Amino acid sequence: MDDLRQDRPGRETGDAIQDEREAADPQAERLRHIRDLLEEDRAAEVHALLEDLHPSDISNILESVDAEQRAALVELLRPGFDAEVLAYLPVDLREDVVDLLEPKEIAAAVAELDTDDAVDVIQDLDEDAQRAILENLPPETRALVEQGLTFPEYSAGRLMSREFVSVPEFWTVGRLLDYLRAAASADESDLPEQFYDVFIVDPMLKVRGAVPLSRVMRARRSVKLNEILTEDIRVIPATMDQEEVARMFRKYGLVSAPVVDGTNRLLGVITVDDVVDVIAEEAAEDLLALGGVGEGDLYRAVLDTTKSRFSWLAVNLVTAIIASVVIGFFEATIEQVVALAVLMPIVASMGGNAGTQTLTVAVRALATRELNEANAMRVIGKEVLVGTVNGLLFAVIAGGVAIAWFRDPLIGMVIAAAMIVNLICAGLFGAVIPLALSRLKIDPAVASSVFLTTVTDVVGFLAFLGLASVVLL
């Protein structure tokens, strides 16, 4: 009993800390409250809470609960299900939620979305689910979505919205304003909910320019649109990769841009909110690729996640065996000087970490087009110089530690020299490997780390043990 009484204040303190954390994080408190209500079968109160939430917040809740509670939440959301919730969900989890709904229900919800969001929701589903939803869409919406799905994956055509405002160049500002007001008051308006530019087109629907809404609002009604349009606008081909689209928006500070086909006919528009999503997706993809994991690993079943990670772990095993073979060549040396076995990991670890720093910078620079053939030699030279300076600095530190530890100046000299060699190689290959893979059309974010680890391990062990066999024996 004494033990229990002594434990109770600790538990109360822990609960108090947890309550403070949740008070500081309203989302965590809301999630806990919803979980409690679900466990108590208070569905009406849960439904009332969900009604006031943004689709993004609802998707976060669906991500955070277990499968049973997710099914219960989807059942509550089923009447008038908002397809925007699907747009915010990770792909793997989106499929799970789609499986809980009928195709007609999903189609009715998708029909309310802008075409870019509709394509985004449908494109990652399996073929059977896609077909079932498309068959239940209204004919006009289905035609637009199907056309969007014909464009290459991760292209501007998949990203664009088909809702935009385009008018002839001979219109005046007054006629444009009257048209916008009349269209907005119509029962079934074709106007997008939000737009930033009015695109000026010729009779063949080819883009002549654009007029920002701010300029429209400042101009007199009698002014013709062709007098205030911007002709030098950034037009995006429908086949352009979404990464290139994001770079264009970033480089030129765009808010929206027209998407055209091969004949320069206006097809749709891409807005900055879509580009923000692309930037986040590409950054997450590169980060996960560097670790050799997939986007959906957090939500996949254990067996699926194991399979997806197995291949890169197998490659790492091969590279580790190569490094071990190198060590085996110097088995006799290690047996005679035991200190070498203690110090070996230091050399390999420092080389690996230094190489990863260079690799991270190089992969990001390649992704943003800051690193290319024109400046490759300058970047490589800089990284080699950085590796040399760091190698000299850490050679002094590591050498001093080894001398103080083992009372042998020769061991200190060996590890110092090996440190310099490995950090120079780390800087060199940390830049060269992603450049070479990029030239070979291989994603540097995926494959670079495996090759770099092999190089730094092999060079580190060769330098350290090779020098030791010459100097110490």
pLDDT in tens, 374-413: 888 999 999 999 999 999 999 999 999 999 988 889 999 9
pLDDT number for residue 298 = 55
Q: State in Å, rounded, how far the first CA of the chain is from the last one.
A: 67
How sure is the predictor about 100, in pLDDT bands with cuts at 50, 70 and 90?
confident
Higher pLDDT, 381 or 98: 381
Q: Report DSSP state, residue 184.
A: H
User: What are 121-163's pLDDT values in tens digits?
Assistant: 888 888 888 888 898 888 888 898 898 899 998 899 999 998 8
User: From the CA atom positions of the chain, what is the Rg in Å?
Assistant: 30
Give the lowest-confidence range in 204-218, 310-324, 397-411, 446-460.
310-324
CA 284 vs CA 223, 278, 293, 295, 410: distances in Å: 47, 10, 11, 8, 47
Q: What is the mean predicted confidence (pLDDT) over 14-26?
A: 50
Distances (CA, A) of 97 to 20, 59, 179, 291: 33, 10, 41, 28
Q: How confident is the model at residue 78 (pLDDT cuts 50, 70, 90)?
A: confident
What are the sequence ranges of the domains in the chain? Answer: 10-150, 166-271, 302-471
CA 125 to chain centre: 19
Q: Are 137 and 148 in contact (CB under 8 A)?
A: no
Residue 449: name the closest of 460, 437, 459 by CA.
Answer: 437
Per-residue confidence (pLDDT) for residue 18, from 0 to 100: 46
**Average model confidence (pLDDT) across the chain:** 83
CATH superfamily label, 166-271: CBS-domain (3.10.580.10)
Of 82-91, 151-160, 295-304, least confident by mean pLDDT is 295-304
Residue 191 phi/psi, 5° resolution?
-70, 140
Q: With respect to CATH, is domain 302-471 assigned 1.10.357.20?
A: yes
Residues paired with residue 259 on neighbouring β-strands, in sequence order: 236, 268
Has residue 424 got a pLDDT over 60?
A: yes
Taking the domain 10-150, which CATH number applies?
A: 1.25.60.10
